[in-house]
A = this chain, B = another copy of it.
Amino acid sequence: MRRSQKDTAETRANIIEAASQILRARGIEATSVADVMSAVGLTVGGFYRHFDSKDALVAEAIETASLETTARHSEKSAGREGDLVALLETYLSDAHRKNPGRGCPVATLCSEVAHGDKTTKKAFTGAMRRLFGTVDAAIGQRSEGDRGQALFLSRATHDETLACEILSAVRERLLEKRKSHRAIRGKD
């Protein structure tokens, strides 16, 4: 039966929240619409009153997950710029590794998103940008998400310019880095 506008909005939010956790924990393809709906205590049929398709939900869930984790990180560093210790203790922790469902969506979905549709890629690109921002702030310099991710992140975005930038920036950085490394060691 019909629900009040408040209830409807609440249900929608619940679906997104549940999806954002299940997707991060199990991956996109391994998560069914029915899984998400039953996690909220509803049946599949009602899903399409809230979303056009599974892809639409995935995009919103990624966005929500990204906003949540970004907020958590800036909260932990409590506004102090360059709080690298706080970031490392949360982001690169075993707790984060073992709890993908509440963690960074970029880390969990990076390679799967490369085969997703455009809406998904767009949401993921937003999440990537936020992650870069967090890392940059903690390190105190531009880092491109600290490099290694370059190739698979460049594949996961729909934005061709960004993809090229990521790769070329990282190439330059690594060369620079070796140069300074050799200078210190007196090699070459």
The distance in angstroms between the C-alpha atoms of A104 and B154, with both chains bound, is: 14
- As a 0/1 sequence over residues 82 to 104 of chain A, the CB contacts with chain B under 8 angstroms (1 = contact) are 10110010011110110010001
Smallest CB–CB gap between A151 and chain B, Å?
4
Mark out the residues of chain A between 99 and 154 whose CB falls within 8 Å of any chain B CB in the assembled complex. Answer: 100, 104, 107-112, 114-115, 139-141, 145-152, 154
- As a 0/1 sequence over residues 44 to 71 of chain A, the CB contacts with chain B under 8 angstroms (1 = contact) are 0000000000000000000000000000
Known A148-B146, A175-B84: A115·B181 in contact at CB below 8 Å: no
Which of these, B82, B112, B140, contacts A111 with CB under 8 Å? B112
A155 at the interface (CB under 8 A from B): yes
* Chain B CB within 10 Å, residue with most, of A145, A149, A175: A149
- Segment of A1-9, A33-41, A164-172 in the binding face: A164-172
Q: Which residues of B contact A80 (CB under 8 A)?
A: none
Smallest CB–CB gap between A87 and chain B, Å?
9
A78 at the interface (CB under 8 A from B): no
The distance in angstroms between the C-alpha atoms of A82 and B174, with both chains bound, is: 12
Smallest CB–CB gap between A115 and chain B, Å?
5
Evaluate contact between A110 and B164: CB separation under 8 angstroms.
Answer: no
The distance in angstroms between the C-alpha atoms of A163 and B174, with both chains bound, is: 24
A72 at the interface (CB under 8 A from B): no
Which of these, B141, B146, B174, B181, contacts A88 with CB under 8 Å? B174
Residues of A within 8 A of B (CB): 26-27, 29-30, 82, 84-85, 88, 91-94, 96-97, 100, 104, 107-112, 114-115, 139-141, 145-152, 154-155, 163-164, 167, 170-171, 174-175, 178, 181
The 3 closest A-B pairs by CB, nearest first: A148-B148, A148-B149, A146-B148
